[in-house]
Every structure is written in C-alpha cells, then in structure tokens.
Structure 1
Amino acid sequence: MKSLSRSLLLLALVAAPVLAQPTAIIAKARSFLGGDAALNAIKSVHYHGQLESTITSADGETRSTTAEIDIIFAKPFYQRIAITTPEKNETTALDIYEAWQRIENPENVNQWQMSLLDQPQIRRLRANTWENLSFFAGLEKQGGKVIDGGLVTKNDRSLHLVSFDHGYGIVFHRYFDPATGKLVVSETDSGATITEDGENRVAGVRFPGSVTTVSPRADGGSTQVKVVFDKVTVNETFPASLFRVPTVAPTAN
C-alpha cells in the first residue's frame, strides 16, 4: 500500500567503510542544535504542519497534492503520523515493536483499510524514531555504529560525512558543516535527498521549519514531499492508546 507517510520514511542505506568515531563533529552538531542539557531533556516531539507532495514525470509533467500532517515521536520507540485530506485520513503508528497503518474515508467511517506493518518496516520506523529524538548521540547503546566519513565534497561544499548504521541495512548518511556543525543534507540508498530549512526554537532546541525529501521514481521522474511546520511542541505526555494497534472501530485523530 503506497502512502504519503511512507514517502517521509526513506531510511535504508549502505554503510561507509570507515569505522572511526566522529566525536568532535557530533559534539559540534549537538551544540548547534542546543547543547547536551537541552537535547537530553527532550522526551517527545510533536509536529504539526502542511504537507505538499509533487510528482514530476520523466517528461516534466507535475501533479501535486496537499494535506494537513501531525507527527509525534516519543521515547523510547513511539511514533504516529496522521495525514488528513478531504478524501482520506491516513494514520501510521509505531508501538515499540508493533506498527500499523489505517486509511479511512472521512465522510463514511465504515469505509476503511488497515494493515499491520512487517518486521523490516518496523525496524525502519524504530530507526526513524531514534534519529528524531536522540540528536546524533548514543546509537552504540542501541547496538548500532557511527561511522566517520571525514571531509567530502558535496553540493560544491566541503562537508563532514557521518553515517549512522542501525543494522539490517538501515543507515543515515548525514553531511554537516564542519565549521558550525549544522546538518546540511542527508541521503538515502534509493537516491533520495533530505534537506531542512528554517527553524522553530522550542525549549532551547533548534527544530526545522520545514523538511523536503526528493526521491527518484522508477519511470525517470521524481517525487518531492515538503512538510512546513507551523507548530512544534516538546515533552507532551501521550496516552498509550494513541499508538496501540486499533480495533475495527475508527481511529481518533
């Protein structure tokens, strides 16, 4: 089942061969975001905003859709993405070791589809949740590896490459400004690029103002998914039922 939420979670990569520990650049990146004390205090992040997905065909024709989006990440491994359009409500959630997706017709609660996600998808959601709450620190404690790629040329700039290997082929390649520690761009093994722009400052931490993912398509075109956040809240407490696999009754958004 293809969905907008899955377009936001392109995570699988191939690890780089260098196995050094990039302690200095990670420290600089965390300092840029807000510093250890502020980052370690984050237990949950709640984003709300607007999503625009644009599909460009190989011959240049485009087709766009817009939606309201609500994203929750909570420690240790809880995630919920709710995408709302006039045509459908789409919810994808992770409850530690279980994950599911449900699509409903907002005009008829009796029209819905639900699927349980498989183990590879769950692993990717867990990795994505960790990346959004740990701010580059402590992957080794989860059994992963942090790989220093050193200085590389990317987008005509000298950037510091660090790969975050979660195992099972799930790796994030991150390119940081070596002077400031700012994350400039991320890449996936599918050829997708992820960039962040602007900022929302909450509880002393810099969160992105928007995130854009551009992915190549098999037909030679591309898909761009841009999310602009109008609200970011941290350290809310959420009921367990929000992430739990739902019954046949309609979900509450």
Structure 2
Amino acid sequence: MDQICGSRSVNLSDWHFSSFDNVNLKIHEMGVGRPIILLHGLFSNADTNWIKFGHAATLADAGFRVIMPDLRAHGQSDAPHDPTAYPADVLVKDTFALIAHLELTDYDLGGFSLGARTTAKLLTQGLTPRKAILAGMGLEGLAGWQRRRDFFLKAIELRDTAKRGDPHWFAIQFMKSQKIDPVAAAHLLGSFTDMEPDALDAIPMPVLVLCGAEDRDNGDPQKLADALLSGQLVEIPGTHMSCVTKPELGFELVRFLTT
C-alpha cells in the first residue's frame, strides 16, 4: 500500500518473520536504500512510533530502507501466553534473528524507550551497526528495571478498575488503545534485564541520544550521552509521549544518519 505524508507517497510493505523460536513477528518496511532497523517503545507498535507521524517516510525520502518490526507481544506480532516464549532478553534475541534472516552487514539501528534499551543491549552484545540511535532514553533508564516492571505489572492488574487520577491511569489507557494482551505483556515484562552503565564505554560507533526537551521518564539523556564514547544529545520538542508526534524526530534521525 502507499503511505502518503504531505506531498510524498512512499510504498509501505508488510511481511511476517519466524523468529529463533518460531514465534511470528510482523515486519513493516518503507523505502529502498541503506537499511535502518527501528525498534518501537513499550506497549506501542511500529505504526504508532514510526509510520503514523511520518518519520519512516522522512527516512525513506532520504534514501533509507526502513525496517520496523512489531515487537513480540505488540502490534500485529504474535503474543503467546506460554511463559517459555519469553526467555531473558527475548527482544534482543528476536533482533539478532531478524538481522541474520535479512543477512545485513552494513546497516543502522535505533529504538525509542524500550526499543532504545533493547538497542543498547544489542550494542553491548556484539552488534556492530554503522550508527545507532537511543531515543526517549536517559542513563538511569538502562538499569533499575525492577521498579519500572512492577509499575507496569500493577497497571496490568488494575487495567479494569483504576480511576482517572491513579498514577497507572495513562499507562492503562495507552495499553488499551494499542490492544495489548495483558497476559503476554506480563510475561514480556519479566524478560527484561538491567544493563550496567559501565558497559556503555565499550560501544564504539557514533550514537545519537534523541530526547524530548520535557522528557525525563527514563532519566537524564545528557548523562547517557556523556557515558558513551561517541555520544551526542539532541533535544526535540515534547514529552516522552508527545515527542513521537513531532516532525523534528524524523528530521533529526535523517540529519544524524547522513552526516
């Protein structure tokens, strides 16, 4: 199908990929050229994070092949209820499997929020993209996952009873709007492991830390940029939730990847 953004029209294609354990993941692609894999945030999907607000089209117009999986238990990908489908760092395993399937050797990689945590893990486990993007992320967001996990597990528990004003309210509404399966989500939340910040100084490639000016949901982005060997911070308008709706997100991705 064609995705139309302003005066632009670029082809969007979808296909399924059988991951390392035969769980089916939905992959969305736009554009031709240099490959970039983009990983979306928790309880989101490729459309909400990258396609709906034009960021994928901006990259495609700049000559990129934009590869955007719906993560396991998200979007149009499988959301199995079997807990064995969620081993430790399963999203890292899925991404390694996707890159191997596509036989990519020269590509870029980025993610937003949970996608950024996954990207950081991949970079410390031997993945070597040319450039990387950690969006919606600060240094503190890479560790201390247990507290965040417990918050989201509580949101799942309260999804049918929480009232407006409850601290879990907005997370619950977002989960519902994205049609997140609560059983699968709970299993997935238990699969994430922390990353020691000291591991960041082993990441050799240039890394863009891209964050909303009002976003500190995952800690201090400047501290994250400073902890990287070749990190740079760029702020765009918005909060953690609203910055993905801003065209500046796509513009800054293109600027970083083409300079």
TM-score (norm: length of structure 2): 0.27
- Greater relative CO, 1 or 2 (CA 8 Å, sep 6+): 1
Higher helix proportion, which one?
2
More strand as a share of residues: 1
Could you state the TM-score of these two structures normalised by the residue count of structure 1? 0.28
